[in-house]
Amino acid sequence: MMQKIIIQLAAAGLLCLMMAACQGQAPQENPAVGEPYPELVEQETAAASRPPNSFVKGSGYEGVILTQERAAAVGENLFGGEIQGYWVPTQADIQSLEEKLLPFIRDNQAVFGGAAPGADRLSRYKRQYVGIIQDGQRVIFVNLLCQAPSEDWQREFLLVMDGGACFFQVRYRLDTGSFFDLKVNGEA
């Protein structure tokens, strides 16, 4: 239990640092020498120079497709060695996925512990789409957020700990049009 709390606190601290860098806040000073921490300056510079993610919106959904560079940055921490590469899904790829998402959720309501979102609620979730190559196949990793802090979800990948069915992730195999690896956040 204590290990889980420590991991969550560390992840929350990392997320806060990432969000501060993305929001263009001034770098924090190193109290020992009164100068900015070099790694925060690097993060701010890198975030400012990255191309923007692509915004997509369709019937019952809106989200962002992460650039290949951002997908790779996310993937290093999120997927480990199971990913062979990254790619950028098209709007048509996202539309195909979204047409099948609600039926998939209905078929897997038990995973949500009785709190699976219906069509109306699901349409309010923000989405982040990450194109990955897994087992030699193009896969779209979808991060769904019922609540997104300001506009940060459009710029940087947000992984939320806990929150139950308000936050979940799923993978979609493009060539077969099938979902797998549905993960619904736990409750704190």
Say whether pLDDT at 143 is over 60. yes
**Shared domain check, 170 and 158:** yes
**Shared domain check, 113 and 31:** no
**Shared domain check, 76 and 29:** no
Please state, for a pLDDT cut of 70, what percent of the chain lies above it: 72
* Cα–Cα dist 83/76, whole Å: 9
Summarize the confidence of residues 46-60 as an average pLDDT. Answer: 81
Range with the poorest average pLDDT among 97-106, 110-119, 125-134 = 110-119
What's the N-to-C CA distance of the chain in angstroms?
11
Confidence of residue 18 (pLDDT cuts 50, 70, 90): very low
**Shared domain check, 63 and 26:** no
Is this structure's pTM higher than 0.75?
Answer: no
Name the more confident of 53 and 11. Answer: 53
pLDDT recorded at residue 42 = 59
> Which parts of the chain are beta strand (E)?
29-30, 35-36, 54-58, 61-65, 83-87, 126-134, 137-145, 167-173, 178-184
Q: Report the chain's mean pLDDT, rounded to a whole number.
A: 80
**Shared domain check, 128 and 174:** yes
* Cα–Cα dist 68/169, whole Å: 19
**Shared domain check, 156 and 83:** yes
CB within 8 Å of 115: residues ≥ 6 apart: 164, 165
- The total number of structural domains in the chain stands at 2
Summarize the confidence of residues 133-156 as an average pLDDT. Answer: 91
pLDDT recorded at residue 23 = 45
CA 183 to the chain's CA centroid: 12
Query: Tokens for 104?
Result: 């998939």
**Shared domain check, 78 and 13:** no
**Shared domain check, 112 and 152:** yes
Domain that holds residue 116: 52-184
**Shared domain check, 5 and 97:** no
pLDDT recorded at residue 67 = 96
